Amino acid sequence: MVDTELADLSNNMLLGAVLLYVVAMLGYAADLAFTPRPAKARAKALAGAGAPVEEAADTAEDSAEPDVPRRDWGRFAVLITVFGGLLHAGGVVARGMSVSRWPWGNMYEFVVAICLAAVVGFLVLLVRSKARYLGAFVMLAVILGLGAATIWLYQAPGELVPALKSYWIAIHVSAAIIASGGFTVGFVATLLYLAKARHEEKASTGFLDRLPGSTTLDDLAYKATMFVFPIWTFSIIAGAIWADEAWGRYWGWDPKETWSFIVFAIYAGYLHARATAGWKGRKAAVVATIGYAALLFNLVGVNVFLEGMHSYADV
């Protein structure tokens, strides 16, 4: 049933992807380091202006514009990211082909797919919002994710238990993967926002000058989260429909269900908080950070520490 050659190919492709991501991360870091700092005053004006994302990102980009050779670090990093992403996707596809099923049947495969979703999510933001400055941090998160998956979660390719043999795995789990990847990118932006907001408040100098204004970062985090929140909601609903087919109830407060609800509630709180006086800004960002922590716990912690019906997604 298992094509071990394809499975080995998958492992090697993923290893290659990690190496490329490391190179890309260094590229983005060089891009940040060698980009001239935008004038302090300019950053301030942007921060206070409630500028739309595109506008501010443009400005940040503009400051790098005249310096053509330096700009190349960024381009190089993006190119390497795309190659890494292709290799990563190839690894996921090969894994699926080696076992003739959707390649997200256990924790290892799931985390690998989420990392791919995060890379794709970053590339989308790169095109739409010129968010190249996120690159180094997203790459770091992805490298850590793939590393953890390989070291602690690795499972030899194999067949699924009967409960997982359903087309709902393609719907429910795919949505969870896309949403988790998007939340990861949003989380990276949120952390940068928190750091940058503090930095601006203290009016200190340092490498954070090289990032766009806190408002841009906050908007970017919001954008990513807003985009994936409905996908997460959909994933929960699709899971409920599947649970109704497989277990005879659509909602039973299984630990995974409970925690996916908790994640939903916290991120819903974030979306509201951002529009509420007295909560917007840093408080909302803290809520989003807690939301991501809950997401990670739901992803891994629930399978490691709690006993439930999702335990076939073994570690």
Is the C-alpha dihedral spanning 88, 90, 96, 102 positive or negative? positive
Q: Are 117 and 182 in contact (CB under 8 A)?
A: yes
Mark 194-233 with x for binding to another protein (rule: CB under 8 A) and - for no binding: -------------------------x--xx--xx-xx--x
- Binding of another protein at residue 109 (CB under 8 A)? no
CB closer to another protein, 88 vs 274:
274
Total residues contacting another protein (rule CB under 8 A)? 63
| 3-state DSSP percent of the chain in helix, strand and coil, to 5 | 80, 0, 20
- Under the binding rule (CB under 8 A), the answer on residue 234 touching another protein is yes
String of DSSP letters for 18-64: HHHHHHHHHHHHHHHHHSPPPPHHHHHHHHHHT--HHHHHHHHHHHH
- Give yes or no for residue 62 binding another protein (CB under 8 A): no
Minimum CB–partner distance for residue 75 and another protein (Å): 25
133-162: contacts with another protein (CB under 8 A): 156, 158-159, 161-162
- Are 142 and 118 in contact by the 8 Å Cβ rule? The answer is yes
Sign of torsion over alpha carbons 258, 262, 263, 268: positive
Q: How far is the CB of 206 from another protein (least distance, A)?
A: 27
- We find the least distance from the C-beta atom of residue 142 to another protein, in angstroms, to be 26
205 by DSSP, 3-state: which?
Answer: coil
Joined tokens for residue 304: 């490691």
| Minimum gap (Å) between residue 153 Cβ and another protein | 16
Chain residues binding another protein by CB under 8 A are 1-2, 48-55, 156, 158-159, 161-163, 165-166, 168, 219, 222-223, 226-227, 229-230, 233-234, 237, 240-242, 244-255, 258-259, 261-262, 265-266, 268-269, 272-273, 275-276, 278-279, 294, 302, 306-308
